């Protein structure tokens, strides 16, 4: 039986991509909490496997040639797990290119724009005295997120999944689209195909299992940690890596 993969995780959209993939692919894994509100992402032992101090990251004790390998960046992890298991990442070049287009689209656009939109809507008004900048930032990133949501909605018209069959492209896009819908009710108004896809992916048993394990981890790790200003300083403070 293969040794379990260590998944360094917190239940953000990027973290959820990996637990969903592991559940869908039948990968045996250990969840290791990286409480980003307490600063676990800056611990030296975590920086050894994720030098950009971001989770998720994985360590596979049975990597290439049977030797351990660590992987950071959620898109790279999805590709690695897809290659390792042979699931949800097609081997046919034409189909694989299609999956990669939408995987990289999410990594470069949907995720960063959603993250910035939530930052300006949720945190910035408490951090930036000049609210004009907050209002501009919120408008800029929410508008761009909605443009990207429209792109995804158009892509899903007449399709069940983003790139052919269900794939790591869906696993990458889903947590960000769902998260935006939960935090910003009405943001997908008029995007019927996108809303149907979010509901369809959310009903998958593997997705439900991943969500439940994420909730269990938060409770076990005493998620409250630092609150308010302290947590914001940890999450958004710049720590130079020397």
The CATH number of the domain where 215 resides is what? 3.40.30.10
The pLDDT confidence band at residue 225, using thresholds 50, 70 and 90, is low
Domain contains 238: no
Range with the lowest mean pLDDT among 50-64, 65-79, 128-142, 212-226? 212-226
Domain contains 241: no
Are both 145 and 105 inside the same structural domain? yes
pLDDT for the residue numbered 222: 62
Strand stretches in the chain, DSSP E:
5-9, 29-33, 57-60, 69-72
pLDDT for the residue numbered 239: 57
**β-sheet with 5-9: strand ranges across:** 29-33, 5-9, 57-60, 69-72
pTM here is 0.92
Structural domain for 161, as ranges? 93-203
Domain contains 240: no
**Is residue 32 a contact partner of residue 8, using CB atoms and an 8 Å limit?**
yes
Domain contains 138: yes
Which token pair is 182?
A: 């939960």
Are both 104 and 81 inside the same structural domain? no
Whether 233 shows a pLDDT value over 70: the answer reads no
pLDDT for the residue numbered 237: 60
Whether 94 shows a pLDDT value over 90: the answer reads yes
Are both 111 and 131 inside the same structural domain? yes
Domain contains 147: yes
Tally of domains within the chain: 2
């Amino acid at each position: 039986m293969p040794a379990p993969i260590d998944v360094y995780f917190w239940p953000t959209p990027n973290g959820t991509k990996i637990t969903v993939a592991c559940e869908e692919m039948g990968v045996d894994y250990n969840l290791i909490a990286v409480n980003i509100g307490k600063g676990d992402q800056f611990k030296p032992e975590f920086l050894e496997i994720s030098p950009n101090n971001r989770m998720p990251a994985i360590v596979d004790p049975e990597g290439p040639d049977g030797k351990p390998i660590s992987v950071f960046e959620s898109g790279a992890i999805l590709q690695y797990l897809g290659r390792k298991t042979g699931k949800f990442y097609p081997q046919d070049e034409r189909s694989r290119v299609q999956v990669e287009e939408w995987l990289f689209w999410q990594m470069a656009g949907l995720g960063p724009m959603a993250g910035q939109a939530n930052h300006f809507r949720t945190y910035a008004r408490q951090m930036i005295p000049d609210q004009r900048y907050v209002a501009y930032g919120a408008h800029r990133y929410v508008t761009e997120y909605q443009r990207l949501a429209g792109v995804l909605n158009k892509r899903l018209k007449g399709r069940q999944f983003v790139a052919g069959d269900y794939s790591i492209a869906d696993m990458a896009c889903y947590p960000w689209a769902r998260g935006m819908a939960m935090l910003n009710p009405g943001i997908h108004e008029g995007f019927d195909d996108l809303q149907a896809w979010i509901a369809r992916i959310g009903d998958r048993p593997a997705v439900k299992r991943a969500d439940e394990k994420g909730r269990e981890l938060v409770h076990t790790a005493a998620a409250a940690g630092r609150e308010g200003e302290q947590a914001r300083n940890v999450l958004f403070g710049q720590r130079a890596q020397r």
